[in-house]
Amino acid sequence: AQRVTQPEKLLSVFKGAPVELKCNYSYSGSPELFWYVQYSRQRLQLLLRHISRESIKGFTADLNKGETSFHLKKPFAQEEDSAMYYCALTEALFSGGYNKLIFGAGTRLAVHP
């Protein structure tokens, strides 16, 4: 079964502390993994995708196919990072096509001053 699991509903850290939001997935094909973020009163938006190997707003995520994980990390959390974070996957479609997203339940990150 295709599934994305985010084991933590809430992650609470202090400003400047490292952050790791966990994501594990189950998928039989070749997946493309994403992290989406939703800040307060804003719409869901893409934070980063594994294929691009970028660092966005200081966040990185490495796809570990052996452990089927795609954890989101940031070395020093900022208060503005407080938001809802969703891990998602889709079938890797390198030339376009239908791409339904399968989301995890989300983790709320709260960064305290």
Partner 1 sequence: DAGVTQSPTHLIKTRGQQVTLRCSPKSGHDTVSWYQQALGQGPQFIFQYYEEEERQRGNFPDRFSGHQFPNYSSELNVNALLLGDSALYLCASSLYRANYNEQFFGPGTRLTVL
The site for partner 1 (CB under 8 A) is made up of: 4, 6, 9, 32, 43-46, 49, 51-52, 86, 88, 93-106
| Shortest separation between residue 75's beta carbon and partner 1, angstroms | 26
Q: Cβ closer to partner 1: 41 or 113?
A: 41
Q: How far is the CB of 37 from partner 1 (least distance, A)?
A: 11
| Nearest-angstrom CA–CA distance, 19 and 78 | 10
Smallest distance from partner 1 to CB 95, Å: 6
Minimum CB distance to partner 1, residue 112 (Å): 22
Tokens of 72: 């989101």
Phi, psi of 87 (to 5 degrees): -90, 140
| Of residues 17 and 93, the one with the C-beta less far from partner 1 | 93
C-beta neighbour count of 109 within 10 angstroms:
21
Looking at the Cβ atoms of 19 and 48, the one nearer to partner 1 is 48
- Number of Cα atoms under 13 Å in the Cβ half of residue 102: 18
CA atoms within 13 A on the CB side of 111: 20
